[in-house]
Amino acid sequence: MSTLRFHAIKETFNRPVIDVKEAERRSAVFGSNVFNEAAMRQYLTKDSYKSVKDAIVNGSKIERNVADHISTGMKEWAISKGATHYTHWFQPLTGTTAEKHDAFFETTDDGGAIEKFGGGQLVQQEPDASSFPNGGIRNTFEARGYTAWDPTSPAFIYGTTLCIPTVFVAYTGEALDNKTPLLRALQSIDQAATAVAKYFDKSVTKVNPTLGWEQEYFLIDKALAASRPDISMAGRTLLGHTSAKGQQLDDHYFGSITRRVLDYMRDLENECMLLGIPVKTRHNEVAPNQFELAPIFEETNLAVDHNSLLMDVMAKVADRHEFKVLFHEKPFAGVNGSGKHNNWSLATNTGVNLLGPSSTPMKNLQFLTFFINTIKAVNDYEELLRASIASASNDHRLGANEAPPAIISVFIGSQLTTVLDQLEKLKNGKLSPEDKTDLKLNVVGKIPEILLDNTDRNRTSPFAFTGNKFEFRAVGSTANCAKPMTVLNAIVAKQLIDFKTEVDKLIKGKKMKKDDAIFNVLKGYIKDSKRIRFEGDGYGEAWEKEAKKRKLSNNKTTPQALKAQISKSTISLYEDLGIMSKVEIEARHEIEVEEYAMRIQIEGRILGDIARNHVIPTGIRYQNLLIENVQGLKDIYGNTFKKHATEQMELIEAISGHIAKINKGITDMINERKKANTIEDAEKRAFAYCDKVKPYFEEIRYHCDKLELLVDDEIWPLTKYRELLFTR
């Protein structure tokens, strides 16, 4: 084993055990670092408290003098918890979170000092926005950006810093972050869904979309990760032969969690409790060293913030335990990658889950309404939904050799399929009394019963109904959930608005009864959105063919998928709902294609460096050893030496062959990179990186991995898959 690998692995064995106890009663510590209801009641005046609540529930504006009161209360609370700094915490279009800490500390005129935090500092700040991606918005409008307090997501203390969740927008109003469009989409769906829910229950005044994400990740020892330039810089391995043992024995999934990992998870969960992130489930995943963490679902804006915060906390806690967390969707070839299922539903202020079937037929008509409208929305905007989860790293799952496929489809299970089939058969127009009775007794009335034993859950579907929620499974593990959640909530909002218009037209124009009108419209939707429903195996080639016939998109790469973001239908969707303007939409697209090209460029450089500086020299060293050996055999055996040196000679030949291929691959790849870099247009550049540069990765890797198998383990410098995946 090479010295480098030896030391990295040795370090893992010397890791001290950090004994972490589980918080005794989670409920007792939960949210203690959050400026939540309890803290607000204690630290705010009655009026300030009411004003914040009003802003949260009704979106009302908080007056400046009230903000001063709130900031004072917040500061007192934060200082009592040991905070010394505050920051506006936001989610720029880099996909991660950003913060700039300022101390509460300020000097006074008389040479003293005080702790200060005014309403102005709570409500608005101006980070140096020019260093964040803006897709040309700033150049076009010469606008500065500012962050503004989002009272719907409570402030929290992380470390010694009071973090205030904020939106990030340009002074000209364009959103520069992931949160702003999300909040607008959530507002749209609230209005649209409330209007529809009122058909069934007049007392509904608000609908909150809910989100429960499931975060998958790999945990690798820090020293091992640091020994690999590709993991350190790209978050994934760009080469490495698969180990003899991978996940074929299925012995990791739900297996017992090792001591060191469990200590990490405990520490992480304790942190989550303080921060009010309601994590609940932890378990091993399918691949070795792969795990999952899932919370109790929450209102979507908060759930999105909590996921972003969690990813940050995970990395920091891992560091404490000498681990590195890999969020990449495919850190290792040959074993499963990671996703982030987004479980989504709609909850009313009256406590009803609109996607939860119930025992009364009337309530089930409500269920069917939201269920079918969601399917219709996904049918109409499948390509945009695919675009919302596109990234260079997620391309390794979608459309590559891993489920789910790049084709968006909806799985609902055989029982609900039967229900929709029956509804589809209804005659147009007013329902006969017999039809109605039949519907009530045999179709709508049966739903909760049949759902209970709905066990045929399809694991290959990108978008599946799972009993009382939809599960968007194609979301990648690195994703900021705001993106898919903005799209999903926007398209369902648009769909519900259209639905209500159509139903009202039948009620008023055709003098239909409400139920009849609803059934009529739903029936049409079932027919129109049949192509999106798919119950079969999403992995297979057969589905690709079938999907093509159904005219479903199959965009396997990010540049291709992102096109839907700037299509006419997307622009009018966002403009109609007031979620984003054309300028904002185009800016975002530009940022994403640019980011894509940069990521492939970085990976290309890393791969080139590793292959030329680590792999080829090692191949040559081993070849020299062989040559020396052949030379020695010649000395001993003279003319008959060949008989004794056949294998060695073959190896020498093979090594030369691989080295030549690697070297040529790198040269050609660099040439393609140079060409790509001269392309002005960001989208075209992304396509060049995708179609011309990236294909060399496989080719170069293939020969590097072959060399890994040939070369003496003693001198191979890169930590091997078996060491990365089975040391913990």
Which is closer to ligand ADP, CB of 238 or CB of 294? 294
Residue 296 or 441 having the CB closest to ligand ADP:
296
Q: Is the peptide bond before 404 cis (omega within 30 degrees of 0)?
A: yes
**409 forms part of the interface with ligand ADP (CB under 6 A):** no
CB under 5 A: which stretch of 53-61, 100-108, 166-174, 336-344 binds Mg ion?
336-344
Per CB under 6 A, 297 contacts ligand ADP = yes
* C-beta neighbour count of 561 within 10 angstroms: 27
User: Of 105 and 254, which has the nearer Cβ to ligand ADP?
Assistant: 254
In the list 69, 328, 341, 589, the residue contacting Mg ion (rule: CB under 5 A) is 341
Least Å from the CB of residue 185 to Mg ion: 22
- Per DSSP, helices labelled H in 539-640 are 541-549, 558-562, 568-577, 582-610, 616-637
* Burial class (CB within 10 angstroms; exposed 0-12, middle 13-18, buried 19+) of 549: exposed
Contact between 294 and ligand ADP (CB under 6 A)?
yes
Only segment of 103-111, 295-303, 428-436, 474-482 that touches ligand ADP (CB under 6 A): 295-303
Single out the residue of 78, 211, 587, 645 in contact with ligand ADP (rule: CB under 6 A).
211
C-alpha–C-alpha distance, residues 368 and 446, integer Å: 12
Structure-block tokens of residue 242: 């698969």
Site for ligand ADP, residues 428 to 447, rule: CB under 6 A: none
What per-residue string of b and e applies to 378-396 under the rule 16 or more CB within 10 Å gives b? bbbbbbbbbbbbbbbbbbb
Alpha-carbon gap, residue 673 to 604, rounded angstroms: 8
Q: Which of 199, 344, 371, 472 binds ligand ADP (CB under 6 A)?
A: 344
Residue 376 binds which entry of ligand ADP, Mg ion, none, CB below 5-8 Å type-dependent: none
What is the rounded distance in angstroms from the CA atom of residue 144 to the CA atom of residue 185?
Answer: 24
Minimum distance between the CB of residue 220 and Mg ion, rounded to whole angstroms? 24
Q: Bridge-partner residues for 533, per DSSP?
A: 410
Q: Which residue is nearest to ligand ADP (CB)?
A: 212
Site for Mg ion in 627-666 (CB under 5 A): none
Question: Which of the stretches 91-99, 343-351, 493-501, 620-628 binds ligand ADP when contact is defined by CB under 6 A?
Answer: 343-351
CB atoms under 10 Å from CB of 510, counted, come to 12
Of 625, 623, 612, 639, nearest in space to 700 by CA? 612
Q: Which stretch binds Mg ion (CB under 5 A): 112-120, 134-142, 335-343, 405-413?
A: 335-343
If one asks whether residue 113 binds ligand ADP (CB under 6 A), the answer comes out as: no
Which residue is it, tokens 């999106």? 532
Give the one residue of 2, 147, 178, 210 binding ligand ADP; rule: CB under 6 A: 210
Spell out the SS3 assignment of 259-301. Answer: HHHHHHHHHHHHHHHHHCCCEEEEEECCCCCEEEEEECCEEHH
Residue 146's contacts (CB-CB under 8 Å, 6 or more residues apart) are 124, 125, 126, 127, 129, 168, 169, 171
Q: Using the minimum distance from each CB to ligand ADP, give the nearer residue, 465 or 596.
A: 465
| Interface pattern 444-483 for ligand ADP (x via CB under 6 A) | ----------------------x-xx--------------
Question: Which amino acid is it at 530?
Answer: K
In the complex, the smallest distance separating the C-beta of residue 356 from ligand ADP, rounded to whole angstroms, is 7
**Which residues, at least 6 apart from 435, have a Cβ–Cβ distance to it below 8 Å?**
426, 427
Answer yes or no whether residue 392 interacts with ligand ADP by CB under 6 A.
Answer: no
Q: How many residues bind Mg ion (CB under 5 A)?
A: 1
Report the distance separating Cα 122 and Cα 88, nearest Å.
8
Question: Total number of residues binding ligand ADP (CB under 6 A)?
Answer: 16
* Residue 214 binds to ligand ADP (criterion: CB under 6 A): yes
- Closest separation in Å from C-beta 724 to Mg ion: 26
| Per CB under 6 A, 345 contacts ligand ADP | yes
Least CB distance to ligand ADP at residue 374 (A): 13
Least CB distance to ligand ADP at residue 344 (A): 6
374 binds ligand ADP (CB under 6 A): no
Retrieve residue 223's tokens: 């020293």
- DSSP for 128-140 reads -GGGS--TTHHHH
Given the complex with ligand ADP, which of 296 and 362 has the nearer CB atom? 296
Considering beta carbons, is residue 345 or 393 the nearer one to ligand ADP?
345
What phi-psi label fits residue 163: left (phi over 0), alpha (psi between -120 and 50 degrees) or beta? beta
Q: Which residues sit at the interface with Mg ion, rule CB under 5 A? A: 341
Q: Which residues sit at the interface with ligand ADP, rule CB under 6 A? A: 210-212, 214, 294-297, 341, 343-345, 353, 466, 468-469
